[in-house]
Amino acid sequence: MAINRTSSHGEWSSRTAFILAAAGSAVGLGNIWKFPYITGENGGGAFVIIYIMCVILIGIPIMLAEVYLGKRGRLNPIASIRYISERENRSKNWQIIGLIGILAGILILSYYSVIAGWTMAYASRTAFGVLNNIDAAGAAVIFENFIADPERLLAWHTIFCIITALVVSRGVKSGLENAVVRLMPALLVLLVALVFYSAIEGDFANGIKFMLYPDFSQVTGKTILIAMGQAFFSLSLGMGALMVYGSYLSSDVSIPKTCVIVASLDTLVALLAGLAIFPIVISSGLEMTQGPGLIFQTLTVAFGAMPGGQLFGTLFFILLIVAAWTSSISLIEPMIIWLIEKYNVTRIQAAIFSAAIAWFIGIGTIISFNVGSDIKIFGLNIFDFLDYLTSNILLPMGGILITIYVSWLLSKEKVDSELKIKSRILRVLWYFSARVIAPIAVIFVMLNAIGINFDIFS
Ligand code: PHE
């Protein structure tokens, strides 16, 4: 029977291990780097509320569906869906979901690694005390000089790609479980400490107001698309990462509970990051809307001024690198197991090949901050284009296909017996979200974003 098959790539040692690995995938630069800067760009409170609604109404239902597919298929995303389709007499064209995911994963990794490289550079600068006592204006200059230098960005990007390839070539379980168990709680503790610092030294009242007080007059269809894209990105949804992790899940684990825990943890970290960053942005006179450099400049100011900031800052950046690295493993893993299963290559060969592709595409992101900033695709620079394409188009598209496939096309008995949602109300709610709310919301928001406007947004 399908349910008792196991993955040839191994299995998690416990439910906690899966939660940690999934949380390791979810919590990363998306929470600490991206969430604050896009919240800053999109006006604060209203964006945060829409984001949280997207997590609950769209994210969690799709997450359940995605983990379900992995746990039932036990293979790489493409083959899992082919396997399930064969058994359910569904078209094998649904494999396209896996393909979209593998593509999205590598494209995301290409720029993710560049930003992880920034984090490494800032860890080393903080450690050497280069950033001590820097004010906001100084932090801005330092950051601008840094991203203006393509060679330096390339060096760090290369190091991060190599580290990622090294770890995944040893297999996901060894290494990953250990890193996550020890380091994720440490990251959380440091983040909470940073929030305290921000409460004492920053403009906490206005920071909180910015983050929680909604001004819906600024909200457009595009704001909602970005919030939704961020929910997909932050929860690692729609690209097969959780499908792959689900395929290593032992058969007795409850999917829904696990997913709710992972999503809550991920959202908690994003909100804490916001609480830590915004009060300092305001008190130091930095710009909310400055984009991808926001946390690097803000944290430079904060660590530069705080007692013990050199040590504390170094630790913080190191933990952020670890968080980025546990996420990048999940970005590359779908492609790796696909290569292994389909082309019979070794894990090491697959890892080198996949990382090399991400590395090469990453050069586009590097130059979009300096020598290639004039290169535009659909009016966006290369980094913004890749980010838009993946977060706002590929991940939601993958997600919507996953949820339609699972909730409408697969045998309801099988899905029910696997998900084991005991409460009838919750079961009905899940079906309603997965079948109706999530698909309609995603289609609606995407149509709106490509310019087909509906009255409620105008
Ligand atoms: N969720 C990760 C983060 O927030 C990024 C990611 C996206 C990982 C998609 C896997 C899949 O940093």
Q: For residue 407, tell me if it sits in a domain.
A: yes
Domain interval for residue 64: 15-457
Q: Is residue 302 within 8 Å of residue 198, measured between CB atoms? A: yes
The CATH number for 221's domain is 1.10.4160
Best of 63, 230, 331 for a ligand 1 pocket test (most atoms within 8 Å of beta carbon):
331
Specify the DSSP class assigned to residue 380.
B
Report pLDDT digits (tens) over 229-265. 999 999 999 999 999 888 878 777 788 888 999 999 9
Residue 8 pLDDT more than 90? no
Mutate to test the pocket of ligand 1, among 25, 51, 115 (most ligand atoms within 8 A of CB): 25
User: What's the number of domains the chain is made of?
Assistant: 1
Burial of 266 (C-beta count, 10 Å sphere; 0-12/13-18/19+): buried
Contacts of 242 (CB under 8 A, 6+ apart): 22, 25, 63, 66, 67, 70, 236, 330
| Contact status, residue 348 vs residue 336, Cβ threshold 8 Å | no
- 26 C-alpha to ligand 1 centroid (Å): 5
Tell me, yes or no, whether 257 lies in a domain: yes
320: CB partners within 8 A, 6+ apart: 29, 32, 33, 119, 123, 187
The CA 238 to ligand 1 mean position distance, Å, reads 10
Banded pLDDT at 220 (limits 50, 70, 90): confident
Spatial separation of the C-alpha atoms in residues 106 and 100, rounded to whole Å: 10
Considering the domain boundaries, does residue 10 fall inside one? no
Residue 179: which residues within 8 A CB-CB, separation 6 or more? Answer: 24, 322, 325, 326
Q: Which atom of ligand 1 is nearest to the CA of 26?
A: 1
Cα(448) to ligand 1 centroid in Å equals 25
**Residue 3 pLDDT level (bands cut at 50, 70, 90):** very low
Going by pLDDT thresholds of 50, 70 and 90, the confidence category of residue 75 is confident
Residue type, 36: P
Cα of 411 vs its chain's centroid, Å: 30
pLDDT at position 176: 67
pLDDT in tens, 371-403: 999 999 999 999 999 999 999 899 999 999 999
Note whether residue 387 is domain-resident.
yes
Q: How far is CA 387 from the centre of its chain?
A: 11
Tell whether the model's pLDDT for residue 312 goes beyond 50: yes
Residue nearest to atom 7 of ligand 1 (CA): 236
Indicate whether 243 belongs to any domain.
yes
**Can you give the pLDDT at residue 1?**
38
